[in-house]
């Protein structure tokens, strides 16, 4: 079966200028050659510390920002090229839900109007769009008779995020990109919204890209997980395999340092010893070598390759784990 989304070599570097219109002083390599596939009906989780490029990647996937290089194939059609799928069509078939539930809703519009707005912008008559909005509000657990006329400031964070989910579903998307979509919610509300997402996914045959710094939540919701570090994919694999036996030393460190179930610590970014290096000038070779306990000389000399993630494959971009891609480390023991 054809994957819903294929991304090859996606890249986005942001220029940093001296002064407003000054000359380009440097580039932040936010997303630096990322390739992966999302299969129909699956949830791909994306994890990594803040600044690893996951939000930039989400915006690239929606074409809210334009990539410098790389290709994106949506259900067999190249995005934004002649003969492919237009950005407008992509943005109907793929929708995004952000972390900040307030900023994405119009504060001066009753929420039922916010949900109806997208379909109307795409030409649906107002009466139909309103009926659809009421149906979707019901689906996300908000009685339209009670909530439809309310304004965003009259709703709780969890209720607003339900409205945002209804709004994302209003264009009948096939894929929903959730960028820290539950991260701002209280734990109990977060669990309700996660359960709702699972129900909707089954009911509407959706495909999710679920981005979060919360490793526990990602494990719970994802079929496969992709780990990013400084703009690159360092590991990808089935969620169970990746959590049970992480291959990349960065993933191993992330999981080992994962806070316990202590509720006060759960929302912290998982600490890995040392700060992430500056993405303006990432370390040569393996970008993790400045923090990796297993680094050898080859690690700073050559960049390890992830390889091609066929369905179900569990891969890591690491010379030790992947000596076939690499470089003279054959024969040394594989990491535990």
Q: In this complex, which beta carbon is closest to ligand SF4, that of residue 169 or of residue 230?
A: 230
Q: In this complex, which beta carbon is closest to Mg ion, that of residue 55 or of residue 251?
A: 55
Residue 88 and residue 85: Cα distance in Å, rounded?
8
CB of 297 to ligand SF4, least distance (A): 10
Distances (CA, A) of 148 to 111, 115, 159, 222: 6, 9, 11, 31
Task: Report the partner that residue 320 touches, choosing among ligand SF4, Mg ion, none (CB closer than 5 to 8 A by kind).
Answer: ligand SF4
Taking CB under 5 A as the binding criterion, the range among 35-43, 49-57, 190-198, 328-336 that sits at the site for Mg ion is: 49-57
Q: In this complex, which beta carbon is closest to ligand SF4, that of residue 118 or of residue 237?
A: 237
Q: In this complex, which beta carbon is closest to ligand SF4, that of residue 218 or of residue 286?
A: 286
Residue 89 and residue 96: Cα distance in Å, rounded?
14
Q: Which residues pair with 176 in a beta bridge?
A: 95, 208
Q: In this complex, which beta carbon is closest to ligand SF4, that of residue 55 or of residue 252?
A: 252
DSSP 255-271: HHT---S-TTTTTSPPP
Task: Tell me the CB-side half-sphere exposure of residue 20, using CA atoms within 13 A.
Answer: 0
Residue 98 and residue 107: Cα distance in Å, rounded?
16
CB of 57 to ligand SF4, least distance (A): 21
Q: In this complex, which beta carbon is closest to Mg ion, that of residue 57 or of residue 85?
A: 57
Q: Which residues bind ligand SF4 (CB under 6 A)?
A: 248-249, 286, 288-289, 292, 294-295, 299, 304, 318-320
Task: Report the partner that residue 55 touches, choosing among Mg ion, ligand SF4, none (CB closer than 5 to 8 A by kind).
Answer: Mg ion
Task: Report the partner that residue 294 touches, choosing among ligand SF4, Mg ion, none (CB closer than 5 to 8 A by kind).
Answer: ligand SF4
CB of 29 to ligand SF4, least distance (A): 17
CB of 184 to ligand SF4, least distance (A): 32
Task: Pick the closest to residue 213 from 155, 272, 171 (CA basis).
Answer: 272
CB of 222 to ligand SF4, least distance (A): 22
CB of 249 to ligand SF4, least distance (A): 4
List of residues 6+ apart from 121 with CB closer than 8 A: none
CB of 47 to Mg ion, least distance (A): 11
Q: Which residues pair with 77 in a beta bridge?
A: 74
Q: Which residue is nearest to Mg ion (CB)?
A: 55
Antiparallel, parallel or unpaired: β 315-316 and 232-238 = antiparallel
Task: Report the partner that residue 34 touches, choosing among Mg ion, ligand SF4, none (CB closer than 5 to 8 A by kind).
Answer: none
Q: Which residues pair with 47 in a beta bridge?
A: 227
Distances (CA, A) of 199 to 48, 171, 189, 204: 26, 18, 15, 9
3-state SS string for 238-306: EHHHHHHCCCCHHHHHHHHCCCCCCCCCCCCCCCCCCCCCCCCCCCCCCCCCCCCCCCCHHHHHCCCCC
Q: In this complex, which beta carbon is closest to ligand SF4, that of residue 65 or of residue 301?
A: 301
Task: Report the partner that residue 7 touches, choosing among Mg ion, ligand SF4, none (CB closer than 5 to 8 A by kind).
Answer: none
Among 35, 37, 55, 222, interactor with Mg ion by CB under 5 A: 55
Task: Pick the closest to residue 110 from 70, 75, 62, 155 (CA basis).
Answer: 155
CB of 48 to ligand SF4, least distance (A): 14
Residue 177 and residue 95: Cα distance in Å, rounded?
6
Taking CB under 5 A as the binding criterion, the range among 54-62, 157-165, 237-245, 299-307 that sits at the site for Mg ion is: 54-62
Q: Given the rule CB under 5 A, which residues bind Mg ion?
A: 55
């Amino acid at each position: 079966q054809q994957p819903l989304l294929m991304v090859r070599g996606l890249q986005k570097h942001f220029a940093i200028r001296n002064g407003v219109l000054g000359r380009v002083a440097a580039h932040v390599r936010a997303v630096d050659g990322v390739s992966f596939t999302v299969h129909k009906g699956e949830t791909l989780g994306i994890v990594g510390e803040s600044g690893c490029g996951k939000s930039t990647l989400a915006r690239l996937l929606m074409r809210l920002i334009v990539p410098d290089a790389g290709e994106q194939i949506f259900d067999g059609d190249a995005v934004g090229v002649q003969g492919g799928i237009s950005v407008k069509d992509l943005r109907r078939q793929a929708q995004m839900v952000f972390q900040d539930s307030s900023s994405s809703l119009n504060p001066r519009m009753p929420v039922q109007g916010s949900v109806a707005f997208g379909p109307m912008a795409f030409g649906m008559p107002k009466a139909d769009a309103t009926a659809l909005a009421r149906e979707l509000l019901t689906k996300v657990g908000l009685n339209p008779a009670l909530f439809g006329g309310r304004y965003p400031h009259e709703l709780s964070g969890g209720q607003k995020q339900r409205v945002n989910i209804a709004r994302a579903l209003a264009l009948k998307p096939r894929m929903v990109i959730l960028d820290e979509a539950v991260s701002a919610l209280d734990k109990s509300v977060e669990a309700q919204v996660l359960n709702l997402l699972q129900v909707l996914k089954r009911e509407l045959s959706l495909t999710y890209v679920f981005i979060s710094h919360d490793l526990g939540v990602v494990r719970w919701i994802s079929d496969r997980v992709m780990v990013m570090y400084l703009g690159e994919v360092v590991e990808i694999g089935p969620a169970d395999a990746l959590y049970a036996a992480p291959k990349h030393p960065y993933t191993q460190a992330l999981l080992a340092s994962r806070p316990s179930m202590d509720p006060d610590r759960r929302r912290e970014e998982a600490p890995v010893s040392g700060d992430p290096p500056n993405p303006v000038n990432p370390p040569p070779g393996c970008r993790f070598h400045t923090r990796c306990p297993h680094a050898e000389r080859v690690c700073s000399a050559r960049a390890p390759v992830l390889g091609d993630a066929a369905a179900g494959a569990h891969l890591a971009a690491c010379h030790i784990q992947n000596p076939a891609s690499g470089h003279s480390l054959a024969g040394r023991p594989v990491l535990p």
